[in-house]
Amino acid sequence: MKLATLKAGGRDGTLVVVSRDLVTCQAVPNIARTLQAALDDWDSIAPQLQQIYELLNQGMAADAVSFLDEECASPLPRAYQWADGSAYINHVELVRKARGAQVPPSFYQDPLMYQGGSDSFVGPRDPIAVLSEDWGVDLEAEVAVVTGDVPMGASPEQAAQAIRLVMLVNDVSLRNLIPKELEKGFGFFQSKPASAFSPVAVTPDELGDAWRDSKLCLPLQVTLNDAPFGRPNAGDDMSFSFAQLVAHAAMTRELAAGSIIGSGTVSNKQGGLHGSSIANGGVGYCCLAEVRMYETIEQGAPQTSFLRYGDTVRIEMLDGSGASIFGAIDQEVVHYHGAQK
Amino acid sequence: MKLATLKAGGRDGTLVVVSRDLVTCQAVPNIARTLQAALDDWDSIAPQLQQIYELLNQGMAADAVSFLDEECASPLPRAYQWADGSAYINHVELVRKARGAQVPPSFYQDPLMYQGGSDSFVGPRDPIAVLSEDWGVDLEAEVAVVTGDVPMGASPEQAAQAIRLVMLVNDVSLRNLIPKELEKGFGFFQSKPASAFSPVAVTPDELGDAWRDSKLCLPLQVTLNDAPFGRPNAGDDMSFSFAQLVAHAAMTRELAAGSIIGSGTVSNKQGGLHGSSIANGGVGYCCLAEVRMYETIEQGAPQTSFLRYGDTVRIEMLDGSGASIFGAIDQEVVHYHGAQK
């Protein structure tokens, strides 16, 4: 089943069920007005949404209208939790190698995870608005899941059962602010502005064979200024599955329905700078920092700049037949000029 | 005006207006069913709530019932943001001194702040449920504010105007998990389980002269196992006002209505271990870690243990006449045995 949230309807938008081909959608005010409301009472509401989904796919839904990515907020326009892991250790290994440090052995057993802000995500087609280019704006293309209620101390097996939805995310980072923030020891805080999620969130069953062992085994397609930039397979080199990440988040506390847990920047192990870009036959990157790390390792200093005003980032994922699964995140970097809403 | 949320009514509970003396309350389903709904549309809803508040205080409210702390959830049972500062630098100075380190000069200009989990706070009379005493359970008695919408880059003056409500919080920490978490560099994550907030949240005007320059200038009363443990003045030695903390949180992103920003553990500068406890004439402490830091500095090692199962923590604040302003947080440490709800 595929779900989205239209911006119309207030801070939480309007929940719609979306057809598999992303062509039509239908609001379901008599079932659930918002995605959070559906998640709050998932066991009774999901089967009703599934019925609408089947009607939509058959072209028989009573109130179907055209579905447009442009009208979407993030599936949860605001959420009660957004915690992001760093499950692709290759990314961490590159970070460390670029600064001449080792990856601590514990990093291979114990996931990195930070608590992100979740009070107001931007929509998948909204700009990345910042007050200064000097902050070092970077994309981070990732996969994320939305959970139901998870008890404290849940096992990975229990956590796997609590995964309700899967979506994509651009976890924007302000790279030039990160060193000072991390030095303070309290996490990324000011260096992580509002993230954007894919227009559509899908249930794991919708992914078929591509959802294996709580990993999404398909290439993530990242486009930078209309040129291919990354297509790493999100199922490769993921050191911790989503089941493990959710269990990690729940080790010392309950997670409430609607919690979003992210994978961290998708990153596949590759040879070196020359062969890693898509132009040179590699699978490319999901963030600019990674190119800069390769450049630092091989050339002594980064050459590629972070995002500038006017730069565009597109993130999506295609199924085996080339059809978009989640719709596309497509954002332009702009100067912030006051409230977006 | 004083507001609270009764547990009855689902995940977000039921908003009630509470009389100044905390004796009666009234639900306001025709104005706003939940506190978040009131915050989402504050300018139009607050005046209506204020009218009910005045009727309650005059004993003329039509549907007043008894108000009981025991029936309360945290004012926001779940929130879209909980970010906690560390505004009492004395606390940071003690931490550093105990491990023989200096406080970096920047800490006096740039607030420490971490992003906390906000998906499911526990109620003010709910237990502190943990899976192991070995986690090093500690209280942290603090003050927190709830904001309206705040634009990115807001000045402290703008931020001050966006403070809607003030409340108390017990920001429980798992001290023995903190070193390993901070070493990973991604923040406190697993070392911060669910916080509990005071039964009642109040508008700043309700605090009269005690709300000065966006600081709450009254002693915080902390009781541990029925004995006085702390009574530091929350207005003293606060290096960053709430206006500054909110502006810090908004530097690189908008804050949405209902964001909670905390002060960090309240801590007054005192002489040394002997004179700092209430029994010896000091103002005591708002967390056990602080006693242990004094012990480490003066005796080489901590003597006081963290909280054990059965220990109780009570946090409240009294006005000039000795009346409770926010009601009391009163929690017992217990072993977690499954979902609380």
In this complex, do B11 and A40 lie within 8 Å of one another by their Cβ atoms?
A: yes
How would residue A99 be classed by pLDDT, with cut points 50, 70 and 90? confident
For residues A266 and A220, is the Cβ–Cβ distance under 8 A?
Answer: yes
Give how far the C-alpha of residue B243 lies from the chain's centroid of Cα atoms, to the nearest Å.
16
CA distances from A163 to B34, B102, B110 (A): 28, 45, 38
Nearest to B184 among A80, A112, A191 (CB): A112
Percent over 90 (pLDDT), chain A: 91
* Interchain CB contacts (distance < 8 Å): A and B: 144
**Distance from the B187 Cα atom to the nearest Cα atom in chain A, whole angstroms:** 4
* pLDDT at residue number A341: 46
**pLDDT, tens digit (0-9, with 9 covering 90-100), for B196-234:** 999 999 999 999 999 999 999 999 999 999 999 999 999
Q: How far apart are CA A94 and CA A226, in angstroms?
A: 26
Our CA-based measurement puts residue B304 at a distance from the nearest CA of chain A, in whole angstroms, of 23
B341, pLDDT greater than 50: no
Q: What are the angstrom distances between the C-alpha of B10 and each of A37, A41, A164, B245? A: 11, 11, 21, 32
Question: Rounded to an integer, what distance in angstroms lies between the CA atom of residue A229 and that of residue B99?
Answer: 46
Helix and strand counts by DSSP (H, E) for chain A: 8, 21
- Statement: residue A339 has pLDDT above 80: no
Nearest CA in chain A to B153: A131
Average pLDDT over residues A277-299: 95
Dihedral (CA of B3, B249, B331, B229) sign: negative
CB contact under 8 A, A110 and B184: yes
What pLDDT is recorded for position B99? 81
Write out chain B residues lying below 8 Å of A10, CB-based. 40
pLDDT band at B340 (very low <50, low <70, confident <90, very high): low
The reported pLDDT for the residue numbered A52 is 98
Chain A positions touching B153 (Cβ under 8 A) are 131, 336
How far apart are the C-alpha atoms of B189 and B175, rounded to whole Å?
A: 12
Distance CA B136, CA A196 (A): 37
Dihedral pair phi/psi, residue A55, rounded to 5°: -65, -45
* One-letter amino acid for residue B297 of the chain: I
Window from A80-89, B60-69, B87-96, B243-252 with minimum mean pLDDT:
B87-96
Residue A340 pLDDT greater than 80, yes or no:
no
- Please name the member of A115, A130, A184 whose beta carbon is closest to the beta carbon of B115: A115
| A259: chain B residues, CB-CB within 8 Å | 119
- Check CB contact under 8 Å for B186 and A114: yes
pLDDT of residue B118: 98
- Report the residue from B115, B153, B182 with minimal CB separation from A117: B115
Q: What is the mean pLDDT of residues B164-187?
A: 94
CB atoms A256 and B83 under 8 Å = no
Q: Which of B35, B80, B178 is the best residue to mutate to test the A interface, defined by the most A CB atoms within 10 Å of its own CB?
A: B80
Average pLDDT value over all residues in chain B? 96
B188–A114 C-beta distance less than 8 A: no
Mutate to test the interface with B, among A192, A252, A255 (most CBs of B within 10 A): A252
Nearest Cα to B195, choosing from A147, A247, A115, A37? A115
The pLDDT of A55-79, averaged and rounded, is 97
Reported as a pLDDT band with limits 50, 70 and 90, residue A98 is confident
Out of B86, B187, B255, the one facing A187 most closely (by C-beta) is B187
Q: What is the pLDDT, as a whole number, of residue A101?
A: 84
Check A152 against B135: CB less than 8 A apart: no
Which residue on chain A is closest to B128 by alpha carbon?
A: A253
Rounded-to-integer distance, Cα B70 and Cα B124, Å: 8
Rounded to whole angstroms, what are the CA distances from B15 to A210, B48, B76, B124, B146?
Answer: 44, 13, 9, 15, 15
Radius of gyration for chain A, computed over Cα atoms and rounded to the nearest angstrom: 19
Nearest chain A alpha carbon to B10: A40
- Do A119 and B258 lie within an 8 Å CB cutoff? yes
pLDDT digits (tens, 9 = 90+) for B253-303: 999 999 999 999 999 999 889 999 999 999 999 999 999 999 999 999 999
Percentage with pLDDT > 70 across chain B = 99
Cα–Cα distance measured from residue A35 to residue A32, given in angstroms and rounded to the nearest whole number: 7
Using pLDDT thresholds of 50, 70 and 90, give the confidence band for residue B339. Answer: low
Task: Fill in the DSSP letter of residue B2.
Answer: E
Residue B173 DSSP SS3? strand
pLDDT at B64 over 80: yes
Q: How many CB atoms are closer than 10 A to CB B134? A: 11
Residue B337 phi, psi (nearest 5): -125, 40
> Per residue in B16-38, pLDDT tens?
999 999 999 999 999 999 999 99
pLDDT at B97: 86
Q: Give whole-number Cα distances, B41 to B17, B34, B49, B60, in Å.
A: 16, 11, 12, 26
Residue B170 has pLDDT above 70, yes or no: yes
Q: What is the mean pLDDT of residues A251-257?
A: 98
Q: Is the pLDDT of residue B185 over 90?
A: no
Q: What is the mean pLDDT of residues A273-287?
A: 95
Chain B hits for A249, CB-CB cut-off 8 Å, are 189
Q: How far is B336 from chain A (nearest CA, A)?
A: 8
- Which of B252, B259, B265 would you mutate first to test chain A, the one with the most A CBs within 10 A? B252
A338: nearest CB among B112, B151, B185: B151
Residue A277: phi, psi to the nearest 5?
A: -75, 155
From the CA of B116, how many Å to the nearest CA of chain A?
6
- Mean pLDDT across the stretch B39-49? 98
CA distance B165 to chain A (A): 17
